[in-house]
Amino acid sequence: MRYWLVISALVGIGVLALGSAARAAERERVVNIYSARHYQTDEQLYAGFTKATGIEVKWIEGDQDGLLERIRNEGRNSPADLFITVDAGRLWRADQSGLLAEVRSQVLEARIPASLRHPQGRWYGLATRARIIFYNRQLVDGEQIKTYEDLADPRWQGLVCIRSSSNIYNLSLLASLIAHHGAAAAEAWAAGVVANFARDPVGGDTDQLRGLASGECGIALANTYYFARLMRSKAERDQALVKAVGVIFPNQNGRGAHVNISGAAVLRTAPHPENARAFLEYLTSREAQVYFATVNNEYPVVGGFGGNKTLRKLGAFKADTINIAVFGENQAEAQRIFDRVGWK
């Protein structure tokens, strides 16, 4: 009997110690971030948060898959509080691994549109980018293209340039088409686009835009912030590209242009969950939202252009308001479709 009393006492002391350690960790004025965003200027955001709250920001950067594997390996001992990345499809992958915590915040729910956050609060969009159509003004009549669906029209055979099927931006776009039209119609669209390829997919979004300027491509898909960077560039080559290329925000008479996010999530094992939530809320402040717009040419989730004259010059547009969580839910089907139609 005494033996069990001793064991019980030791267990009780251990529980108290763990509870005290958890409370001590939460009292620490620090938040630890694992970020798959590779923008050195994000340090300005971290400094702004520390100045506003007194909470120190520590961070590491890496690729999405490497960071998620690190979090899994660290388990309950992980120091990470927040995971930051781009594209809802990547946040969905993290959620499927059971790594994300549900976070409820009146501030976040009031400021961030419902379509740009997880329905149960497991991740939140902080800035958006639209994936739109660009065209060579000399090769294509832009008035003939109004929608994403138009890219599968046989009239554009040999003119379309786009990234590979493994690219998360394209997976999310096709996932949105599955949500709107069903898998069969989405597959027919993907097959039509493949039939219109000017070349096999290669390179990133900027490479597709440069293909337009060189005349290798007539039509391309790219995220808005890539083109905005070129618009802001002082290089003659980039300015020549901007003049040669037309811009189309698709589906303006229907559901609107496809948008995706830079987003963040609090980790289930976060040692400083309240500090992490405070950081998320800070990222929706006017100061942080203006930063997203002016530094990385992303659209603020809290309205407007964030003072970015280049985004304003690109023009206002109607965005698709489907909840972007479906991009993750339909991701596997999108990849199967790409594989079946030979989209490399």
What pTM, to 2 d.p., does this model score?
A: 0.88
Q: Radius of gyration over alpha carbons of the chain, in Å?
A: 23
Q: What is the C-alpha separation between 314 and 257, in angstroms, rounded? A: 14
Which contiguous run of DSSP H or E holds residue 131? strand 124-136
Please give the chain's pLDDT, 344 residues, in tens.
433 333 333 334 443 333 444 444 456 899 999 999 877 678 888 999 999 999 999 999 999 889 999 999 999 999 999 999 989 999 999 999 999 999 999 999 999 999 999 999 999 999 999 999 999 999 999 999 999 999 999 999 999 999 999 999 999 999 999 999 999 999 999 999 999 999 999 999 999 999 999 999 999 999 999 999 999 999 999 999 999 999 999 999 999 999 999 999 999 999 999 999 999 999 999 999 998 888 889 999 997 777 899 999 999 999 999 999 999 999 999 999 999 999 99
Contacts of 325 (CB under 8 A, 6+ apart): 88, 92, 118, 119
Inter-residue contact 30 to 58 (CB < 8 Å): yes
Domains in the chain (CATH in brackets) are: 29-128+260-314 (3.40.190.10), 129-258+321-341 (3.40.190.10)
- The residues facing 232 across adjacent strands are none
Non-local CB neighbours of 154 within 8 Å, separated by 6+ positions: 192, 195, 196
Q: Could you give the CA distance from residue 199 to residue 117 in angstroms, rounded to a whole number?
A: 36
